[in-house]
Amino acid sequence: MKQLTIVRHAKSSWDYNVGDRDRPLKERGINDAILMASHIKNKISLPDAVFSSPASRALQTCTIFLRMMDIPEERLQLTNELYDFSGASMRRFIKTLSDDYEKVMIFGHNHACTDVSNNFGDSEIENLPTAGMVHLTFEADSWKSIQNGKTALTVFPKDLR
């Protein structure tokens, strides 16, 4: 069985004159990421591998989750394929994951996170909010063959405040 946890980066700040890839989290985003990671720590299994978009806001969100969930940093890999806003690149990336990984966590952007959740899961999400998380499970032995997964858990920060 394959398990995929999708996390949209937390709320970012527009207060700085930086490019899109360099936008940091705002204080609310940091707090939401801490809240979410603390909440799901004991609700999902620790991932075998973690992949993040290299954008600052995604990587900062990912780093908070790693620390709060006690996930070893060695499991983290950055990939430009997750700096995706449509979902096509993210779907391709997931389908090419090594089958050595049973449980994978990815950190990315919208609309890609919503698209992947809806394409691979069995419940429709209108919009995965910032710091929102979807956990999918698949009756599959290979990432390239995943389809028709089960949306096992969905958590949004607003539900925890």
Binding site membership for substrate: which residues? 57
Which residue numbers belong to the known binding site? 57
Distance CA 7, CA 128 (A): 9
Question: Count of CB atoms within 10 A of residue 94's CB?
Answer: 23
**Cα distances (angstroms) measured from residue 21 to each of 2, 24, 60, 98:** 30, 9, 12, 27
Q: Is 15 buried (19+), middle (13-18) or exposed (0-12) by CB count in 10 A?
A: exposed
Distance CA 21, CA 136 (A): 27
DSSP letters for 34-62: HHHHHHHTTTSPPPSEEEE-SSHHHHHHH
- Kind of pairing between the strands at 76-78 and 2-8: unpaired
Our measurement of the distance from residue 60's CA atom to the centroid of its chain's CA atoms, rounded to an integer in Å, reads 12
